[in-house]
Structure 1
Amino acid sequence: MSRDVSILDCNWDLCSVSASWFGYRPSLPMNATFLVIFTIAFTAHVSLALLYKTRGFGICMSIACFLEVSGYAGRVLAYTNPWSLPAFFIQINGVGLAPTFFAAGIYLCITRIVIAYGAGISRVQPKVYTYFFVLCDIISLVIQAPGGALSSVSASQGKPPTLGAYIGLSGICFQVLSLSIWLGLAVEFGLRCRKVGKEAWDPRYEKLRVSWRFKAFLAALGLATVALYVRSVYRIAELSGGYTGHLAKDEMAFCILEAVMIAILALITAAFHPGYGFGEAYGPISDQKALYPPPWKKGAFFTKDLKSEEVLIELNGQRKSFPRTEGI
């Protein structure tokens, strides 16, 4: 690129594609393919949310898929003009922010899993998983969103969006930290379940736990979490060099560690949707979840501190009867 030509005035005649916002010409076949994939995933998640009435999970996943659709639409536009500011804006905000909503959807699932095995086994009461980690996800989003905005402002002035990239990086680092804590608690809960033995698991949901579709849902959720974790670690490495760093200009790395990972997450959580995985138990478990107090109330964070006579929560099957899931 000529030193006298601003990136804002670049075109195919005046500048090298390596000097574009992307550092390369985005692949049309690759990005069009992922555009179609996420459009399918968006349609599937909206339809499944309406079918199973999984409001929280459905909203998070639908928003995430919509952002991915917008991001890859921006990349498709950038094939024609990799110096296009609108295409760059759409891509960094769509692809960059979507995983935050995917993470929130994943966080919402753990509460019902804990109840399905036995809320009394968990170190923290079920609603902690929902409130604490969704709050962490909101914080991550609040940090990342200004990063995308600053990147857009810098780019509109023809400057490298370095500061915005580093702000976005801090948000992703926080997301990885909260996801790591979530994984730690999930693993610890699994170990506690194994330690107490099956005889201590909630007998009301025995039919659910032995069903193949619930086991498939757990496996799918595990794979989706791993995919999200891999993508997030990749993004940390990518943004550590800013949007102009070496890794940020490697489209193959982006394809494998960003696009493929998130596509796996979006599709597998639709194929093994929690509404399908929990089946008839989804309603009773939701009713049981509603009995727990907000975790910020005194004595309501750790399960051992809950007093059934005060908060009206049944942990031993004697206070309230929930229907068994015989139909599963």
Structure 2
Amino acid sequence: MTLAMSQEIGILQCTWGLCPVSASWFGYRPSLVMNAIFLVLFTIAFTAHLLLYLRYRTSGFSICLLIGCALEMSGYAGRIIAYTNPWSLPAFFIQINGIGLGPTFFAAGIYLCLTRIVIVYGADISRVQPKVYTYFFIINDIVSLVIQLPGGIISSLSASQGRAPTTGAHIGLAGVCFQVFSLTIWLVLAAEFAIRCYRAGRGAWETRYEKARDTVQFKLFLVGLVVAAVALYARSVYRIIELREGYTGRFARDERAFCVLEGVMIVILSFATALFHPGVGFGDAYPLITEQKAKFPRPWKKHGFFMKDIMRTEALAESSDRVDTLGLNSVGKVTKS
């Protein structure tokens, strides 16, 4: 049966006896072994992150990673279904939404770590106050998700009508491009903060977290975070190249490229964040950092964005308190006399 004849039949009516596998949603028969391995690996990562959450109560970070792992698990389960029937619409739907949206939640977890790193080294060293990193990048991640989600839905609707999901792929591409833009800014700001810490010297670093910073666990956490961020960046760039041609393009139909640049990269991310978990990295300092973070104002409050403005406001408040104290002491002396 030729491809042209299979197209006349319609992809929704295709079976092994009627259409070549090249006419399927995937363009190939997904590897059962490869996808089963990825499903097992993400199940292990999910379990590890769940246990680490129960141990360290790293709520925001762990929830993001757990959702990401769950979506990856569903995506590879869809690809396993596609092994038996690569024309299966549910399999295609599950795969593009699970594997496509999972990394957005991984990105959110990575973004949340920078706030605590800034506090550990010293918020005074940062150009902006710690909460800016949280709000700015989480909002960016939500925007990326809001763009990508309709792309997956439109792709699924197009596929349900037997049409190539080109429009949905291009919408998803816009979301991934925004994610790469956001991740690039995060990497630049993280590097900029590292340079500011280096220039300030250890003497300017926050003293209350000195013990936590000097542990091997904290240093490994920093290494793991960099590895996770680089892996996510590599995957996102690959995704841009893949979606540029749509789901029927050359890269979208290259399973080996998908295996290495999509599957392996996200496996590295999920295991790096589990093996070098922030709960282990920050140790006993984690709840103290959470308390300190809560004391910073919302970034959109007056003088609440840049650290220099917050420091100036605090200095004026302290100066005013000293004046008030001196005034009260003076009144006391006059009364006694």
| Fold in common (TM above 0.5) | yes
Offset of residue 298 of structure 1: 1.6
SS at structure 2 position matched to 1:247: coil
Matching residue's letter, 2:155: S
Which residue pairs with 2:77 in the alignment? Answer: 73
The 1:310–1:18 alpha-carbon spacing in structure 2 relative to 1, beyond 3 Å, is farther
Offset of residue 43 of structure 1: 1.1
Which residue pairs with 1:97 in the alignment? Answer: 101
Q: Following the alignment from structure 1 to structure 2, what is the Cα–Cα distance between the partners of residues 166 and 304? A: 42
Which residue pairs with 2:92 in the alignment? Answer: 88
Query: Is 1:131 aligned to 2:110, yes or no?
Result: no
Which residue pairs with 1:222 in the alignment? Answer: 226
Q: What does the per-residue CA deviation read over 1:301-324, in whole Å, with 9 as the maximum and x for residues that have no partner?
A: 111111226899xxxxxxxxxxxx
Contact 1:292 1:311 in 2 (8 A): no
The 1:165–1:112 alpha-carbon spacing in structure 2 relative to 1, beyond 3 Å, is same
Matching residue's letter, 1:35: L
Alignment of 1:55-204 (within 5 A): 55-204=59-208
Which residue pairs with 2:259 in the alignment? Answer: 255
Offset of residue 152 of structure 1: 0.2
Query: Is 1:22 aligned to 2:26, yes or no?
Result: yes
One of 197, 222, 235 as aligned partner of 2:239 = 235
Matching residue's letter, 2:137: F
One of 5, 9, 12 as aligned partner of 1:5 = 9
**Stretches of structure 2 lacking an aligned partner (at least 5 in a row):** 319-337
Q: What does the per-residue CA deviation read over 1:248-285, in whole Å, with 9 as the maximum and x for residues that have no partner?
A: 00000000000000000001101111001100010111
Count matched residues. Answer: 312
Matching residue's letter, 1:217: F
Q: Following the alignment from structure 1 to structure 2, what is the Cα–Cα distance between the partners of residues 133 and 227? A: 18
SS at structure 1 position matched to 2:157: helix
Query: Is 1:308 aligned to 2:314, yes or no?
Result: yes
The 1:151–1:311 alpha-carbon spacing in structure 2 relative to 1, beyond 3 Å, is farther
Q: What does the per-residue CA deviation read over 1:42-98, in whole Å, with 9 as the maximum and x for residues that have no partner?
A: 111111111101100011000000000000000001000000000000000000000
Q: Following the alignment from structure 2 to structure 1, what is the Cα–Cα distance between the partners of residues 9 and 294? A: 61
Offset of residue 20 of structure 1: 0.3
Which residue pairs with 2:37 in the alignment? Answer: 33
Mean CA deviation greater in 153-162 or 2-11 = 2-11
Q: Following the alignment from structure 1 to structure 2, what is the Cα–Cα distance between the partners of residues 271 and 311? A: 44
**Stretches of structure 1 lacking an aligned partner (at least 5 in a row):** 313-328
Q: Following the alignment from structure 2 to structure 1, what is the Cα–Cα distance between the partners of residues 316 and 85? A: 64
TM-score w.r.t. length of structure 2: 0.91
Structure 1: 4+ residue segments shifted above 3 A = 309-312
The 1:11–1:208 alpha-carbon spacing in structure 2 relative to 1, beyond 3 Å, is same
Q: Following the alignment from structure 2 to structure 1, what is the Cα–Cα distance between the partners of residues 126 and 81? A: 48
TM-score w.r.t. length of structure 1: 0.94
Which residue pairs with 1:325 in the alignment? Answer: none
Mean CA deviation greater in 46-55 or 167-176 = 46-55
Indicate the percent of aligned positions where both proteins have the same amino acid.
67
- Point out the structure with max Rg over C-alpha: 2
Alignment RMSD, CA only? 1.1
The 1:266–1:300 alpha-carbon spacing in structure 2 relative to 1, beyond 3 Å, is same
